[in-house]
Structure 1
């Protein structure tokens, strides 16, 4: 059996080792957080551009669909073909922007590396205790 003094000294040594470990990792966490912040900023910018492209595409699609409906009333075969081709093109652009945005949003996992490192270090601390 350990006497209370040696048990207390063992606990102090264990907590000192844990504190040293945490202090050493704090700089790593700060660096990793900075890297993850830069990556998140770039991802957010791409998502924002995709959303703007989607909004513009939808607005143009609606505009040209309306123009196509108006042009249908005039009955000119060439005019109709051009107007519907433009409307179809903008519809394809809108669909492409939608799927691009959806794919980017689905893969978004911000600060994943930092979360993983923190989880692993907490697990190591729990094992040390």
Structure 2
């Protein structure tokens, strides 16, 4: 074996050893981060659960109160028109307005973007993947 071949063989061993060390460091980093991810997931799940419960309770209370208020308002309008020749027109107009409100509410609900509760976790994983890619260069 010539000196040049011995030098290349030695540099390959060195290169392989540095790659093994590099992969070992990356794997230790990933294992350490898994514990952090688990903790972050449990925190974000608890926060998302609490936020969802608050929002659902508030929306149900708002919906019930709003429906009662609007129902009694509509009944008052119909009762006011009861003795007039426009009674049927008023009744049908109120029904049409309610139908229009339902259609508008449906369109608004369908067009809303869903909340991203796990944005922080996604960003952490993305940053860690970038760090791993950088370490493996």
What is the TM-score of this pair, normalised by structure 1?
0.65
CA RMSD in angstroms comes to 2.8
**Deviation at residue 115 of structure 1 after TM alignment:** 1.6
1:122 aligns with 2:122: no
Unaligned runs of 5+ in 1: 76-104
Q: Larger Rg: 1 or 2?
A: 2
1:110 aligns with 2:117: yes
Aligned counterparts, 1:35-46, within 5 A: 35-46=43-54
How many residue pairs match? The answer is: 102
Instruction: State which drifts further: 8-17 or 57-66.
Output: 57-66
Aligned counterparts, 1:40-79, within 5 A: 40-73=48-81
Corresponding residue for residue 31 of structure 1: 39
Unaligned runs of 5+ in 2: 1-7, 84-111
1:11-42 residue CA offsets vs partner (Å, 9 max, x unmatched) = 11111100000111111110111000000001
Instruction: State which drifts further: 35-44 or 3-12.
Output: 3-12
**Deviation at residue 74 of structure 1 after TM alignment:** 6.8
- SS class of match (2:117): coil
Runs of at least 4 residues of structure 1 off by over 4 A?
A: none
Corresponding residue for residue 6 of structure 1: 14
